[in-house]
Chains A and B, each alone.
Chain A
């Protein structure tokens, strides 16, 4: 019991870290050698943001075992709060990387607060009901940002809802302009920042999952009644996972937004939530490396297959159905198992 085991999970986590670092190094070398197409270069930061999103959603869906359909909402909170912070600090903090870091932290903080507030009602629900209510909260967040006006002038911050009543004094500027979102963003997000964000996300998630609290979270997923009967504080541990997940999504949203010159609330709609959920389901629930690969592949593929863009959603649907069949259909499953064990036996024979 006492000795530290090089367990299967430790090995897998190390491999995940290793592959992410390797991918970063290879992509940097490619970029330096000029081997990367400009379209791929432009996608690196969104890929990083989506990878972080997928890992964070996997914490809710795969580890906590609750289906959340509003994850883009937290991304939205992070994007708007993070970007606003960056704009406000433009003069105060001249160093772009530092400003970016502060913005990501602010985005994460605000998303965590929103996650906590949403978690209070949502985590009392189970299964389908939880999914429906998270979907609704995602839409509510979208509506709020579509109607939020935030301006700054010499008197400080001005906020108004529904219409622009900020009445800015001379020299003031509107940061969030309702449905127009935030414009004139300095693109301070970098690929390296994205890589750091993914690494931080992985460290947070792996450490949480392998901790005492993580054991409790997974116990709640496996059997809520049993977890309750051994004296686990269900609400506390569910909230811990949900808020962590929201915070990481907020940071990812902030990074995502600062890669573009404008950000609007409609970017973070139900489709984005589903897109991230697709990454998680395709990569395997609870499997972080799978999420990373799925997020990267499914962000690149639509671009690479741009000429067949009309069929993209069709292919998505078919892939999802196939994955479900492969993991849940008993006949297919036993066939895959036989295939695997056959290969193993062949290896042993050699």
Chain B
């Protein structure tokens, strides 16, 4: 399999704090890869670095064979790498439909077709297309944030903690949608604290601890690994 996204030995600092200490991993075409770890392990930092919001001092980030190192964040989206930021950052004053339209800002394709496609994944958004973003529930906002990212027609979509602050039933719904996206061929890089849910949908996973990858393997392997069980899944 061919790696669409390849991260090699990146080091990221927040001032004097060394947040990411030489991480390397790759995501292959059509895979769901998950990064799991506790708070402060560096999961979101890794995603933000790939998306160009933060800079790595060393190493390289290759996307479809192209080095993303010196490319500005806003250009990375149009290359086909979309980030759904942590905490469902939607445009609260805009309607659902307008939020989706904003997502297509870099994509001058057929807007209506893309919107219908997103509504196909998220029928709930279609019901509420005229509603103002701020009045949606947390789960719906998360769906909207994901839908908006899909509007840029990404080749790889990066999800930063989509289950954060959601009721278990909604978490299940979000993960069902992630699997649907996967089945339709989207490559997904998923960052999660909910290790159980993330590992059960993922093809492969990496475990982060204080800025380093301490363990990697297939989703099933990691789910069964004793140290994971102890640290993240509660015995």
**A→B interface (CB under 8 Å):** 1, 215-216, 218-219, 222-223, 225-226, 228-234
Contact = CB atoms under 8 A, between A and B. Distances in A.
B112 interface: yes
B91 A231 contact: no
A201 to B, nearest CB: 25
B80 to A, nearest CB: 11
A229 B85 CA distance: 7
A267 to B, nearest CB: 38
Given A1-B111, A215-B102, A231 B78 contact: yes
Interface string B66-77: 000000111111
B103 interface: yes
B39 interface: no
Given A219-B102, A223-B91, A233 B74 contact: yes
A234 B103 CA distance: 15
A203 B204 CA distance: 55
Given A229-B85, A230-B103, A231-B75, A222 B152 contact: no
Contacts of B93: 218, 222
Given A215-B102, A231-B105, A226 B89 contact: yes
B10 interface: no
Nearest to B53: A228
A179 to B, nearest CB: 44
B105 A230 contact: yes
Contact of B85 (A218, A219, A226, A233): A226
Contacts of B94: 219, 222
16 contacts: A1-B112, A222-B91, A222-B94, A225-B85, A228-B73, A228-B74, A229-B83, A230-B77, A230-B102, A230-B148, A230-B149, A231-B75, A231-B76, A231-B106, A232-B74, A234-B74
B189 interface: no
A304 to B, nearest CB: 38
B92 interface: yes
Contact of B51 (A219, A223, A229): A229
A222 B151 CA distance: 19
Interface of B: 51, 53, 72-78, 82-85, 89-94, 102-103, 105-106, 111-112, 145, 148-149, 151-152
Q: Which 3 A-B pairs have the closest CB atoms?
A: A231-B77, A226-B89, A231-B106
Contacts of B112: 1
A134 B112 CA distance: 42
A231 B152 contact: yes
Contacts of A226: 85, 89-91, 145, 148
- The listed residue with most A CB atoms (<10 A of its CB), out of B75, B94, B105, B145, is B105
B147 to A, nearest CB: 11
Contact of A230 (B75, B92, B106): B106
A251 B67 CA distance: 45
A25 B185 CA distance: 64
B135 to A, nearest CB: 14
A225 B91 CA distance: 10
Given A226-B90, A229-B83, 15 more contacts: A218-B93, A219-B91, A223-B90, A225-B85, A228-B53, A228-B73, A229-B82, A229-B89, A230-B149, A230-B151, A231-B75, A231-B77, A231-B106, A231-B152, A233-B72
Contacts of B53: 228
Contacts of A216: 105
Contacts of B111: 1
B85 to A, nearest CB: 5
B51 to A, nearest CB: 7
- The listed residue with most B CB atoms (<10 A of its CB), out of A225, A226, A232, A234, is A226
A225 to B, nearest CB: 5
Nearest to B90: A226
- The listed residue with most B CB atoms (<10 A of its CB), out of A219, A225, A226, A230, is A230
